[in-house]
Amino acid sequence: MAELADAAHAAAGHGAEGQTVQEYITHHLSYLTYGKFPDGHWGLAHTPEEAVSMGFMSIHVDTMGWSLFIGAAFLFFFRYIGLRATSDVPSGIQNFVESIFEFVESQVNSGFNYKNPHVGPLCLTVFVWIILMNTMDLVPVDWLPEIAMAVGGLWGLEHMSFKVVPTTDPNITMGMSISVFFLILYYSVKSKGFGGFLSELAFHPFGKWMLPFNLIIEIPTLFAKPVSLGLRLFGNMYAGELLFLLISGLLGVYQLPAHFVWAVFHLLVVPLQAFVFMMLTIVYLNAAHEPAHGDH
């Protein structure tokens, strides 16, 4: 809903800067990038072209910083509530935190059939962290970037890019999904043994005489898990942010109804994507804990 606060500013040329719609959208979809320039020195990119020239060994300072800040805030807040929890007359905020714990616990209990004390905390972290990162998409699209540009102007970066929604950065979403993927591999080998894990890839589902066909099916299926997990979250959040920007740039003074409708719908997208990521994590880890075929 807060996107509506940007309506007047984003419309009709986007203020005194005189940006075109394409320039406005490109700027808001670019990252504050730190890396190595072609001449060898390190620093912040002033333009998207400079960011591209930095190559793989660069970092998106904005999305990385916001993701770490949000994650730390989540941990400190939950620890603060946990240390002050009481069984007498719990406060409203304690009830709220406990309801989140109970919700995640119920999902883990219903979808995970093995004993592992780490799965519950992992799913709680994933669920709450993603919701908080997604919620940044409801902050007016111009507020924080304009503050960043004002501060950046002190160092000659008055036109710098600054994104505040970490989950619209594939580096963040794929980093989380690859972390889950490593856990899948670890628990698959731990529960099945290295030989059992390899035999499932080679001999399942058609038996050892169809080994090449089994590998053609199983290997892409295995690697599709982190790709689909990360890209699903990124794609939905990126599309949501892009549509907000398109509405601002294309509809002018008529954007308010469209902003309202999309903002209401986006309120459902924010928790839904976190829930989907958490549930798929539970499903994948449950499958990883299953014993090798023939060991049941």
Out of 84, 232, 248, 286, pick the active-site residue.
232
Out of 106, 109, 110, 228, pick the active-site residue.
228
Closest among 151, 148, 150 to 162, alpha carbons compared: 148
CA 35 vs. chain centroid, Å, equals: 22
Q: Write the DSSP symbol of residue 36.
A: E
- Asked about 286 being catalytic, the answer comes back as no
Tokens, residue 274? 């976190």
Compute CA distances 83 → 76, 77, 86, 173, whole Å.
10, 10, 9, 31
- Asked about 232 being catalytic, the answer comes back as yes
Closest among 187, 203, 192 to 295, alpha carbons compared: 192
- Asked about 134 being catalytic, the answer comes back as no
Task: Identify whether the C-beta of residue 134 lies closer than 8 Å to the C-beta of residue 165.
Answer: yes
Q: What are the phi and psi torsion angles at 34 (to 5°)?
A: -115, 130
| Continuous segment of H or E residues that includes residue 33 | strand 33-36
The residue assigned the tokens 């504050």 is: 32
Out of 134, 161, 177, 236, pick the active-site residue.
236
What is the amino acid identity at position 282? I
Active site residues: 228, 232, 236
